[in-house]
Amino acid sequence: MDLFEHQGKEFFARYGMPVSPGEAVFSVDEAVAAAERLGPPVMVKAQVHTGGRGKAGGVKFAPDVDAVREHAGNILGLDIKGHVVERLWIEKASDIAEEYYASFTLDRSAKKHLGMLSKEGGVEIETVAEENPDAIAKIWIDPVDGLTEEACRAWVAAANLPDAATEGTVDILSKLYTAYTEGDADLVEINPLILTPEGKVHVLDAKVTLDGNSEFRHEDYAQYDATQPRDEREEAAHAKGLQYVGLEGSVGVIANGAGLAMSTVDVVNQVGGAPANFLDIGGGANADVMAGALEVINNDPNVKSIFINIFGGITRGEEVANGILEAMQRVDIDSPIVIRLDGTNADEGREILRPNLNDKLMMEETMLDAARKAVELAS
C-alpha cells in the first residue's frame, strides 16, 4: 500500500520523527482556511501516488493566503502522470540549509534490509545513482541484529554529512528503521531530509509503502487501504477480496496464484492478444470465489472472451470444475469462456466439464492452446 505524503508524515510522527505541521484538504476554501490556521508562508502540495509532483507544477510555495488560493485552484484537478489531484497537503514552510536523502527497503538477493543515505537530496535517487553513485552510502542490516547506534554513526560518517547534521540524522535514521520494521513497511523514504539554518534535522517529505498483508497486525492500516487508487473494476474486485489489476485489453483472465496469473497475462500477449486484467483468485476456486471473479470480469465492457487458467494443488480438479459450473449458473456471462485445467485430479475435473462444453464454454489441454482460443474469440 502506497501512502500519500501526509499519511507518510503522520506515520513517521508516530515514531517520534520531526515533521512540519500541516493539514490535508480537498477544496480551495479548505486550503485557505488551513493556511490561515497554520500561518503563512506555507507549501501547497499535491497528494498523489506518484513522483514528479514538483516538475508537474504540483508543489508551490505560498507566501500569503492569496497565493494559497491561486495555487490550490491550479493544482486541484491537475493530472500528474495519470493521477488526478483530489487532495492537497497545506504545510508550514521550512527554511532549508542543506538537503539529504534517506531510505530503507529490502534487498531480497542479500536477504537483508538495505539503507541508503546521501548528502545529495531533493532529487530522484535514481539520478544520483546514475550521475554520482559514490554519493550514496549504503548499509546492509541483518534483521536479527537490527541497526545499532555504532553502525548508524559509521553509516552517517560514510555519507560525509556535516558535523552539524550528525546527531539529528543518527536519531532520525534510528527511528526511521524502527518505523520500517515495526510498521511492516516495504519502503520508507525521506527526500529531502533537511538541515535547517538553526542546525536541526527535519523530515520534509515522506514516501511510504506498507505491506498490505500485515493489516491483521495493524488495525489502523484500513484507513490507508481505503485511499488506494482503484478504478471501478478494481474497487469491485477488492470488495470481493480478489487480487485484481485492470488492464486495457479484451481477454479477461482468471487464474489461481499470482505467478500463474502473471504467466497467463504474458501468454495472452505472446499469442497476439491483449489481457483485460490480472486476476488472482488465490488458493481456492470454489463457486463463491469463481462467481465473484466472473461477475467482476463480466462487468468490464471491453472483455470479449474469458480465459480461466487453473492449476489444481490443494484445491482438486473436480472441485474447481464444479465451482466453475455452479458459478456460471449464478452469473449471466456475456463472453465465451475458455478453460485450461491442470494439476491435482485434473482428469476428473475435465470429465465433469466435458458434458457441459458448448460455444460459450470451451476447454483446451494446454495453456498456450487455451490462450490462442481466447484471443481468437476476442478478435
User: Which residues form the catalytic set?
Assistant: 101, 189
Strand partners, 90: 23, 44
Query: What does the alpha-carbon distance between residue 20 and residue 80 come to, in Å, rounded to a whole number?
Result: 24
Q: Is 305 helix (H, G, I), strand (E, B) or coil?
A: strand
Q: What angle do CA 305, 334, 373 make, to 5 degrees?
A: 20
Query: What does the alpha-carbon distance between residue 207 and residue 224 come to, in Å, rounded to a whole number?
Result: 13
Contact status, residue 164 vs residue 198, Cβ threshold 8 Å: no
What is the distance of C-alpha 323 from the center of its chain? Answer: 31
Residue 375 vs residues 39, 197, 269, 339: alpha-carbon distances, Å: 59, 62, 9, 13
Q: In this structure, which amino acid lies at residue 141? A: I
Strand order, beta sheet including 22-25: 22-25, 88-92, 42-46, 59-62
Contact status, residue 292 vs residue 326, Cβ threshold 8 Å: no
Q: What is the DSSP letter of 356?
A: G
Q: In this structure, which amino acid lies at residue 27? A: S
Contacts 24+ apart (CB under 8 A), 288-291: 289/242, 289/323, 290/254, 290/323, 290/324, 290/326, 290/327, 291/326, 291/327, 291/330, 291/331
Residue 141, all three cell numbers: 542490516
List, in order, residues 6 or more apart from 96 with CB less than 8 Å away.
Answer: 192, 194, 195, 196, 204
Contact status, residue 374 vs residue 338, Cβ threshold 8 Å: yes
Query: What does the alpha-carbon distance between residue 344 and residue 246 come to, in Å, rounded to a whole number?
Result: 30
List, in order, residues 6 or more apart from 351 with CB less than 8 Å away.
Answer: none
